[in-house]
Structure 1
Amino acid sequence: MRSSIRGAGAAAAATALVVVVAGSWFGFQQLAQPACSGKIELSVAAAPEVAPAIQSAAAQWVSDGAAVGGTCIAVNVAASDSVDVAAAVASKHGARLAGVGQASGTAVTPDVWVPDSSTWLLRLKTGGAAAFAPGNGASIARSPVVVAVPEPVAEARFGWPEKKVTWIDLLRQVSSDKPIRAGIVEPTQDAAGLSGLLSMTAAASGSGGDAQKATTGALRALATGRSALRQDLLARFPRSTDPTAVASGLGAAALSEEDVIAYNQTKPPIPLAALYLEPSPMPLDYPYAVLPGIEPAKASAARVLYELLTTPGFRNRLAAQALRAPDGNWGDGFKAPQGAPSPAGGAKTVPPAGGTAAGGLDPVAIERAVSSWSIATQSGRMLCVIDVSGSMKEPVASANNASRAQVTVAAASRGLGLFDDSWSIGLWTFSTRLIGNQDWREIVPIGPLSSQRGKLEQGLGSVKPSKGDTGLYDTMLAAYKAVQDEWEPGRVNSVVLFTDGQNDDDDGISQTQLLSELKRLADPEKPVQVVIIGIGGGVNKAELEAITKVTGGGNFVTEDPSKIGDIFLKAIALRPNAPR
C-alpha cells in the first residue's frame, strides 16, 4: 500500500479540525462575518502525502475569518492510505477488489475522498459498485510515476542522466543474463505499482514473439521482488556504497516522483535517480471525490473546499510536499529530480477547473492487469470443468464465428499460461451421459502443473462439444466432492465451472437435492470455493447463485462469449486468500 516516508508530515495531518464555510471561496471575504454559530462536520480522507497541503490550506482559510450565513463548518482532514479507504467503500457498496481484502471493522467512509489515483474510483465501479458515482472527481495534484534506480546503477545500466530510457529498455535489463533486481509494491494495493505494472506488461506484450510468454515472464520477474508495504520496498535499496551491496540491493522499482524526492531528502548513502520512462506511465492524479449520499449542506461545503484547492496558492503548498499541480507544473520551492520534465515550459498557472482526473484510463486494461497479476502471484488447487453440451457448438459472431467451446478453451489456455508450477490443476468435461449414465468425464486428474502442464494443454485441445444436454447438478456435486476429498491446507481449493445453459438432465438429482448435499458436505475447516462462469443468454443466473450461496465463491455471467477470457481471469483473481 502507499505510505509516505515523511512520517512527520503524515502525522501532522492525521487528524486536523479546522473551521471553514459553506459558501464560495472567491466571495468569502465579502461575506465574512465576525462570528458563526452551529456546525456542519465535513470529513475528508486524503492520501498521506497530500493531506498536509489540504490541512494547511483549510487552516489558513479559518485564520482569514471565513464564514457564510452564520454557519460554521468543521473539516476533519485525515491522512488515510488509499487502499484502506477503498476497502471501506467497497464494503459499503458491495464491490469486490482483487487483492484489497476486507475493510477493518472500524472503517468509516468519509464525505470527501482524495485517493492518490483515479484508478481506485475506476476499480470500484468495475468491481461491482454499480451505484458508486462520486461527484466532482477532478484532479487537485499530480506526481509522475517514475522508475527509481540507485544512481550508480542508473549510470552504468541505463546511461542516466543523458540517455532517454524506454520500458523496453527496462524489460531487457530485468530479463538479461545479469538481471537488475526489480521490485514493486503490491499493485493490487498500490497505485504507483499498478501504473508500473501496466507499462511493463504493455512493453512485454508489444516486444514481438510470444506476447503472453513475455508478459508472464515480466509478471513473475516483478513478483519475485514485490513488497506489501512501500517502506519495506524502500528499505531494500542499497544502504552502502560497497559494490557488493549495490549489486545485491534493489535495482529498480516503480515509485512516484514524490517518493523519490522524499527518499533522497533523508540523505541516503546512495541517492535514487528518477527515470522518466517512455511512453510515460499513468501518473498519480489525486482526484477530489465527493462520495455519494452526503447531505446537501456537506455537499455545499465540499464544493467550497474544492475551490480553495484550485487557487494558485495551493500549488505552493503542494510544492512543499514534493507534489505538482494538476497540469504537471510545480509551485515555488519544488526541488525536481534531475531530468524531471516540466510541461508547458514551466508556466506557473493552474487550470481553473483544477485539472481532469481519470482521463484516458482503460478499465478493461486495468482490470486485466490486476487479474493477471493476482493469478501469476498466487497459488492454488483447482478443478476446471467445461460444458461440452450440444449448445457449445454455437458460433460466436464477436469471436470470428469460433464456437462457444473454442472460445472457452482459449480462455482456459490463456489462464493456464499465467499459472506457475506451484498450482495443482485438473480438467473435466460434462454434458449428459458421457460415460454410461455419468454426466462428466475426467480428462486430467488434479495434479501439480510442474509435472502435467503438457497433459493439460493436450486435454484442452481435445475438448469437443457432444450431442448431449447440460447435466449441471450431478456434475457440480461430483466435482465438489472430488476437490474436497483431497483438500490441501494453505491453498485455495476450488471448482471453476464453465457452462452456457441450465440443468436439463431429467435423470439426475434435483436442485433441492444438490443444495441439500452441498450444505451437508460443507466443512468450514476444508472450504471449497465454487466459481461458475455462465456464457450466453441460456444461463439461469438464479440457479447459479443458489449454488455459490451455499459453497462460497461466486458466479460471473456474460451475454457475450467473446469476453469469457477476461471474466475467467477476474473470477480467479477474486477468490479469497487461503485459510491459515
Structure 2
Amino acid sequence: MGRHSLPDDLAPPSTGSPRPRVRRRTLALATTAVVAAAAGSVVAVSNGLLPFGTSCGGDAVHLAVIASPDIAPALEAVADQARKDAVRTDGKCLDVKINAQPSSEVADSLAQRPAKAEFQVWVPDSDLWVDRVTDERGSALTSVGTLASTPLALGTIRSAAKTLGWPGKTYSWTTLTRTATSGGDLRLGVADPARSATGLLALARINAANRKEADSADDAATRTAAAAKVLYERVADGDDQVLATLPRNDSGAELGNPRRNQAVLLSEQAAYAHNTRADGGPPLDLFYPTDGTARLTYPYTLVDEDALTADQSRAANRFMTLLDDTPGQRTLHDHGFRPDNGTADPKLTGTAGGRAPQPYSAAPADLPTAKDLQALLGMWTITVQSARITTVVDASPSMAEAVPGQGGRSRMDLAKSSLLQALSTFTPEDEIGLWKFATHLDGDRDYVELSPTDRLGDRGANGGTHRDELAAAFSSLAPVPRSATGLYDTTLAAYQRASATYTSGKFNTLVLVTDGANDDIGSIGLDSLVADLKRLADPKRPVPLVAVAIGPQADLAALNRIVAPTGGSAHQVDDPSQIHEVILKAIMAAGSHGPR
C-alpha cells in the first residue's frame, strides 16, 4: 500500500516489491447521484449512533471510518481484532468504528457539506469518488494508499454460463455485452453508472472497446449509446440492489422468473461474497473480458488531514498499518479481495466463479480519462432518458470580443464550436432547439427562436434532418451590433416555453449561455424574475435551468439566484470552448435527480 508522511508510522519493513503510491487523477465528474443518504451517515456519527467502545477505559483514541459496504466487513474484522488485542497508538488503545455507506452517497455528502465531517477516514471503492469530491468542493481529501483491489467481470448463473460456453469460450467487452443482450434470452443487470463505480467503469470499458472496433468516433458513440439503452432496461440503483435481482434459489420458477436477472456486471469480490453466502442463491460463474477489465481500488482517504488532532492522525496511520500488514491482508483476502497490485489467487478466483482459460490474471486495461468519464456520464443521462433541451445563446456585442490565446477567435466563435461539439453527443431521439437573445430582435422582444426544439432524427423542411438544420442555426449565430443583453426577459420567456412544452419521459432542461449582465433598462427585475421562476417550477415536471457564464463580466451571482428555483446550476468559464464540457457535466448532475 502506498505511504503518506503521517506521524507514528509503525508499519513493519515491507517485503517483496514495493507497493506503488496511489495515483491522483483530476476527475471532472459532476454527477449528483444521490443526495440525502450520505448526509444521514454524517449525522449518524455526530448523534452517537456509532458508539465507541471502552475496551481501554477512558484511555483510547477513537477513529471513525466510513467504508464502501463491500469492504466494510473486512475493515470491521481488523478493527475488532485490534480492540481484542488492545493495540495501542502512542500509548493509547486504538478504537476504530466502521460505518458502511455507498461511496456515491458519501461523495455527494462531502461535496455538498463544507462543514467539518464527523469521520476522519473514508474508504470508497474507487478513486473516482475521491477525485469527484476534490473537484466539486476543492477539499483536501488525501488518499494515503490503496488497501485492496478487485476486477470487474460478468457473473452468470450456471445455466446461463453453460449456454455462453463457460469456461472455455472467451469474449471481448463488445462481444460479451452484445451476446448477453441480443435476442432477449439472457437478462443482464447492471448498477447505475451514476451511483456505482462498477457500473461506470464497465460502461467505460464497453466504450473503449467500441472506440477501438468502430470505423469512426460517431459510430463508436452510437454503439455505446445503444449498449447503454439496453443496459438501462434492467438497471439497478446500486451494487447491492443489482445482486438482489438474481434468483434466490435453483427452482425452475425462480430461474425462469422474468423479474430475475440471469447475469450481472459485478466485481470478482462481489461474486465471491455471493458464492460463499449460505443464502446467496444459485452460484455464479465469471467471464473475464479478453481486452482488459477495470478494477475497483479502495483508497484509504483522510477526509480533512489538516483538521486531524495528533491522536487522530496517529490512529489513522496505525489502523492503516494494521490493514497493510500480513494479518490485515489475510483478512482482506478472506473476504474475497486481491492485494492492491491485483495479483490473482486461483483459489480465490475459483471460489468467486472464475476458472481458466478465462483471463482472470490478465493486467487491467488503462484507466479512462477524467474527460472520458465525464462525457460517459453525460451520455448515460441523456441516452437512457433522452433529452429535450432548448439552448439560449447571448448575441450581444460583447460576444464579439476576442479571447486571449485563441488566435483572435471571438467568444461567439468559440461558443459556436463548443455547442456544435455538444450537439454531436446527442442521439436522434433527443430534442434540441436554439434561441438567440440581445435586445429588440423581434420588435420589443429580446429573443428569436432560430430552430424549434424537435427530434434530431426528424426530417426538416429542406430534406435534411433536424440535426442538420440545428447545426446550420448554431453556425449562423453572430453578435448583434448596437444591442444590449436582454437577459431577464429572455430567461422568463424561454422558461415559460420549456415548462409549457414539457415532455414526459425525457430529461427536460433549458441551457442559457451569456457573457454579460442584464442591461435592458426596460426589462423585468431580478427579484420579479426569481419569483416568477419559483411559481413556474414544478417538481413533478422538472425543467432545471443550466446557466453558463462566459468571462468575468457575466453576472454569476444573479445567475445563481435565477437557477436556484428550478433545481439547476450556474457555471463560470473563462474559455468558451469549455461550454460543451460544462453542459454535459451539468446535464449529468441534474439528470441524476430527474424522473426514472
| Normalised TM-score (structure 1) | 0.78
Query: Pick from 276, 284, 288: which aligns with 1:276?
Result: 288
1:432 aligned residue: 439
Q: Which structure 1 segments of 5+ residues have no match?
A: 3-13, 21-34, 95-106, 346-358
Query: Pick from 305, 308, 327: which aligns with 2:322?
Result: 308
What amino acid does structure 1 have at the position aligned with 2:355?
Answer: Q
Q: What does 1:417-496 correspond to in 2, within 5 Å?
A: 417=427, 420=429, 425-446=432-453, 454-455=465-466, 457-463=468-474, 464-468=476-480, 469=483, 470-486=485-501, 494-496=509-511
Q: Deviations over 1:166-189 (max 9, x none)?
A: 112224325645674332111111
| Normalised TM-score (structure 2) | 0.76
Kept after mapping to 2: 8 A contact 1:393/1:404: no
Q: CA deviation at 1:391?
A: 5.5
Is 2:518 aligned against 1:518?
Answer: no
Q: Which has the higher contact order (CA 8 A, sep 6+)?
A: 2
Kept after mapping to 2: 8 A contact 1:191/1:284: yes
Is 2:300 aligned against 1:288?
Answer: yes
Query: Pick from 284, 297, 318: which aligns with 2:311?
Result: 297
2: CA distance between counterparts of 1:439 and 1:332? 69
Kept after mapping to 1: 8 A contact 2:198/2:239: no
2: CA distance between counterparts of 1:178 and 1:194? 23
2:579 aligned residue: 564
Change (3 A) 1:162 1:437: same
Is 2:187 aligned against 1:181?
Answer: yes
Kept after mapping to 2: 8 A contact 1:241/1:269: no
1:125 aligned residue: 134
Kept after mapping to 2: 8 A contact 1:383/1:427: yes
Query: Pick from 512, 531, 538: which aligns with 1:497?
Result: 512
Query: Pick from 156, 175, 181: which aligns with 1:149?
Result: 156
2: CA distance between counterparts of 1:274 and 1:217? 24
Change (3 A) 1:544 1:79: closer
Change (3 A) 1:550 1:232: closer
Q: CA deviation at 1:473?
A: 2.8
2: CA distance between counterparts of 1:269 and 1:529? 42
Kept after mapping to 1: 8 A contact 2:52/2:97: yes
Q: CA deviation at 1:306?
A: 0.5
Change (3 A) 1:369 1:427: same
Q: Which structure 2 segments of 5+ residues have no match?
A: 1-32, 35-48
1:377 aligned residue: 384
Q: What does 1:70-469 correspond to in 2, within 5 Å?
A: 70-93=91-114, 109-126=118-135, 128-130=136-138, 132-157=139-164, 159-174=165-180, 176=182, 180-209=186-215, 210-237=219-246, 240=250, 245=255, 250-266=261-277, 271-292=283-304, 293-329=307-343, 334=348, 336=350, 337-339=354-356, 360=367, 362-378=369-385, 381-389=388-396, 392=399, 403-417=413-427, 420=429, 425-446=432-453, 454-455=465-466, 457-463=468-474, 464-468=476-480, 469=483
2: CA distance between counterparts of 1:178 and 1:70? 62
Change (3 A) 1:556 1:330: same
Kept after mapping to 2: 8 A contact 1:483/1:494: yes
The count of aligned residue pairs is 523
Query: What secondary structure is seen at the aligned counterpart in 2 of 1:144?
Result: strand
Seq. identity, % = 28
RMSD across aligned C-alpha pairs, in angstroms?
Answer: 4.0
Higher deviation after alignment, 400-409 or 528-537: 400-409
Q: CA deviation at 1:489?
A: 7.5
Higher deviation after alignment, 223-232 or 63-72: 63-72
Change (3 A) 1:52 1:70: same
2:5 aligned residue: none
